[in-house]
Amino acid sequence: ASLTTTLGDYAFQNVFMNASGVHCQTEAELDQLAASPAGTLVTKTGTLEARAGNPEPRFAQLALGTINSMGLPNLGIDYYIAYAERFQEKHPGRPIFLSVAGMKPDDFPLLAQKIQDSGFTGLTEFNLSCPNVPGKPQIAYDFDTTEAILAAIFKVFKKPAGVKLPPYFDLAQFDQVAAILNRYPLTLINSINSLGNGLWIDPATDTTAIKPKGGFGGIGGQYAKPIALANVRAFRQRLRGDISIIGTGGVTTGRDAYELILCGANLVSLGSILATEGLGAFTRLSSELESEMAKKGYTSLAEFRGQLKTL
């Protein structure tokens, strides 16, 4: 079976990639992703200025996933643009993703302008869903601000762009968000970011797992999978056909990836499982996804993408 895929006008040799935040902060980590079986990669979300992030411990492995409150530690947008420009010289025909976020709405058009003015030829993911900056709500839960940011971005940005979305939990939210997104020339969405502001307690000590924000943090891994499936499915049913979807959330097995593709995902990204298992996760999941396809009689992803059956 072939795991090749397309997203907009771009083609990828493998459907898997990292989720932003995992194994992508430094050049060394990004180069390791590039040398792995992953079909593409995305940088850690970059901000206008480099950031140290929240105090540690700020990441923990849980029974069925992870909790994090990293707080956007990153080396700054200029670092990631420079990396991407070098990458595309070395690897022509292998498009990658920049992830960026503003610390305030006005930062987004500035980030967009920097990327627009650069030599970057790949795709840009504007992260509207970081749950972990103390005092800053997740942008994409505020629909007016989301629309204002999209309007400001697309005044200056002419390259392929997408948005990283948080999980939504009500069908009315899917309707409202999709209506906004459909008004802009987006190439993709990435759904979902971590489940914001979960809490985990150590039963031995009655203490939180992480330090920032009194222990509240974004939940990923198996806890997130049904929410991710629902979000990818709901957006695939509502978005323009020319908006592709990166499916993210709780993929731990090849079967999980298969299900996200059934819901409509063009690429599948690995967060918690990549953090806990390492780069070997790409090899294992590729092989498991191929087995699942063989079992169902499919030889390409296009044959079952979006083909979820309902009762």
Count of residues of this chain found to bind ligand RRO when the rule CB under 6 A is applied: 15
Q: Is 127 in the site for ligand RRO (CB under 6 A)?
A: yes
Residues in CB range of 310: below 8 A, 6 or more apart: none
Contact assessment for residue 242 and residue 9, using Cβ atoms and an 8 Å cutoff = no
Q: Is 66 in the site for ligand RRO (CB under 6 A)?
A: no
State the first-to-last Cα distance of the chain, in angstroms, to the nearest integer. 28
Nearer residue to ligand RRO within complex by CB, 129 or 222? 129
Q: Is 194 in the site for ligand RRO (CB under 6 A)?
A: yes
Active site (annotated) includes residue 24 = no
Binding string, 260-289, against ligand RRO, x = CB under 6 A?
A: ------------------------------
Residues in CB range of 82: below 8 A, 6 or more apart: none
Angstrom distance (rounded) from CA 106 to CA 104: 6
68-97 binders of ligand RRO (CB under 6 A)? 68-72
Please give the torsion angle defined by the CA atoms of residues 260, 147, 220 and 73, in that order, rounded to the nearest 10 degrees.
130
Active site (annotated) includes residue 194 = no
Min separation Cβ 193 and ligand RRO, Å:
5
Angstrom distance (rounded) from CA 115 to CA 197: 31
Q: Which DSSP state fits 301?
A: G
Annotated active-site residue in 130, 244, 263, 272: 130
Annotated active-site residue in 99, 129, 269, 286: 129
Contact assessment for residue 251 and residue 275, using Cβ atoms and an 8 Å cutoff = no
Nearer residue to ligand RRO within complex by CB, 130 or 186? 130
Q: Which DSSP state fits 183?
A: T
Backbone angles phi, psi at 150, to 5 degrees: -60, -40
Min separation Cβ 263 and ligand RRO, Å:
21
Choices 26-34, 127-135, 143-151, 178-186; region in contact with ligand RRO by CB under 6 A: 127-135
Choices 89-97, 102-110, 126-134, 149-157; region in contact with ligand RRO by CB under 6 A: 126-134
Angstrom distance (rounded) from CA 265 to CA 151: 26
Q: Is 193 in the site for ligand RRO (CB under 6 A)?
A: yes
With residue 100 as reference, give the H or E element that holds it: strand 97-100
Choices 112-120, 130-138, 199-207, 254-262; region in contact with ligand RRO by CB under 6 A: 130-138
Q: Which of 39, 102, 218, 250 binds ligand RRO (CB under 6 A)?
A: 218
Count the neighbouring beta carbons within 10 Å of the beta carbon of residue 175.
12
Binding string, 11-50, against ligand RRO, x = CB under 6 A?
A: ----------x-----------------------x-----
Nearer residue to ligand RRO within complex by CB, 70 or 149? 70
Contact assessment for residue 113 and residue 78, using Cβ atoms and an 8 Å cutoff = no
- Contact residues toward ligand RRO (CB under 6 A) are 21, 45, 68-72, 127, 129-132, 193-194, 218
Residues serving a catalytic function are: 129-130
